[in-house]
Amino acid sequence: MNFIEKRLDELNRYRPDPTAPGDLDAFWERTLRASAAKPPQGTRTQTASLSPYMTVYRVEYEGYDETPIRGWYVLPAFAGERDLPCIVLFHGYSGSKGYPEQYADLLLMGYAVFAIDVRGQGGETGNLLPQSFGMTKGWISQGLLDPETSYYKAITVDAVRALEWAAQQPEIDPARIVAAGASQGGGLALISSALSGIPCKTVADIPNMCHMDYGILNSTGSLTEAAAFVSMHPDKLEQVLQTLSYFDMLNLCCRLSRPVFVSLGLKDTVCLPETIFAVYNRIAAPKELQVYPFNGHYTSGDHLRRVMQFLNG
C-alpha cells in the first residue's frame, strides 16, 4: 500500500462522533416553520444579455429577516419555456453571484441557473441581521454566541428560500432542482438539501460547514475568523462551539436522502479532507466522491463532465 492509498484508507475510516446539541431538531423545526409562514416574495426583471442563447433576469427575493437577496436567474433560450431542470448555485466565501455569462456551460447542458449572493459578502446584497456583540473581520463571527442570532442561521435560511423561489418559477420543473456550490457554497448546498425536500440532487464541491470543531482548530479558511474571535474572548469557546454545532453537516448529514456528489482535495488546508470525509462517511443517501490527491482548495481536469454525468445519470 503506497502512502496515498494509506492516507485514503485512514480517511475512509474516519468517523468522529457527532456534536449535535440536544435541541437540534427542535431548533430547525422552529426555524423552518417560521420561514415557511412567510413565502419568499420576490421580483424578477428581464435584463439584456450578451448572448442570444440566454434569457437573463435580475432577481430580488426576501431572505431571512427581510434582507433582500439578489441573484441571477438565467434560462437557456433554446431549451423551451417549461419543465426545465434548474441548478441553484451558492458561491464561495467572500464571493458573489458573478455575471450571467459565466454560467454558459451549464446553460449549454440544458439547465436553468439561479445564482444568488450570500448576504453581506462580495455581491450586491446587504445584511440586515442585527448585531449585539463585537466581531472579528469577515462575516461568520456575527451572532456567533447564539444559534438564534448566528450569521450561519441567516445564510442557511436564505439558501433554503432560494430553493423555494426557484421551485415557484413557471419555467422550472420543481422535481428537477439541484442545490450546488463550492467551498462555502458546497456547505450551503449540503445544509439546504438536508433541511429542504426540494433538491433532487446535491453537488457539494470542496464543501465547508463540515466537522467544524476540527475546522476551527486547523482550517486556514473562514473559520480562522471564529478562531480569532475565541482568541479575543477565550471564555466564549464553549458558546462558539455550541453555536457552530447547529450548522455543522456532521450533525445534519443524516437528513440527506437524495443523491449527493462530493469532491475534495487531499492537500486542501481550507476545507480539510478530514472535515469532508467525516461527513461523507456518514451520509446514508446514494453518494459519489471525487478525490483529487494533489489539489488544494480547487477542482480540476474534467470535473464539470463528472458533475454532469452525476446529474444526468
> Binding site: residue ranges?
93
d(C-alpha 31, C-alpha 290), whole Å: 33
Q: Which of 193, 211, 248, 297 is catalytic?
A: 297
Rama region for 99: left / alpha / beta (φ>0; ψ in -120 to 50; rest) = beta
How many whole angstroms separate alpha carbon 194 and alpha carbon 202? 10
Gap between the Cα atoms of 263 and 265, Å rounded: 7
Which of 117, 205, 248, 268 is an active site residue? 268
| 76, β-bridge pairs | 54
User: Which strands make up the sheet holding 201-205, listed edge to edge?
Assistant: 42-47, 54-62, 68-76, 112-116, 84-90, 172-182, 201-205, 260-265, 287-292
CA 14 to mean position of chain CA atoms: 23
In sequence order, what are the residues at sequence separation of 6 or more whose Cβ sits closer than 8 angstroms to the Cβ of residue 212? Answer: 223, 244, 245, 247, 248, 250, 275
Other Cβ atoms less than 10 A from the Cβ of 183: the count is 26
Alpha-carbon separation of residue 74 from 43, 132, 184, 198, 205 (angstroms)? 14, 38, 22, 19, 21
Does the annotation count 268 as an active-site position? yes
Sign of the CA dihedral with 36 first, then 251, 228, and 237 last: positive
Q: Annotated binding residues for substrate, as ranges?
A: 93
The answer to whether 110 touches 312, Cβ cutoff 8 Å, is no
According to DSSP, the residues that pair with 69 across neighbouring strands are 61
Closest alpha carbon to 57 in 142, 165, 181: 165
Q: Which of 35, 96, 183, 196 is catalytic?
A: 183
Report CA-CA distances (Å) from 228 to 96, 135, 138.
24, 9, 11
User: Annotated catalytic sites, by residue?
Assistant: 183, 268, 297
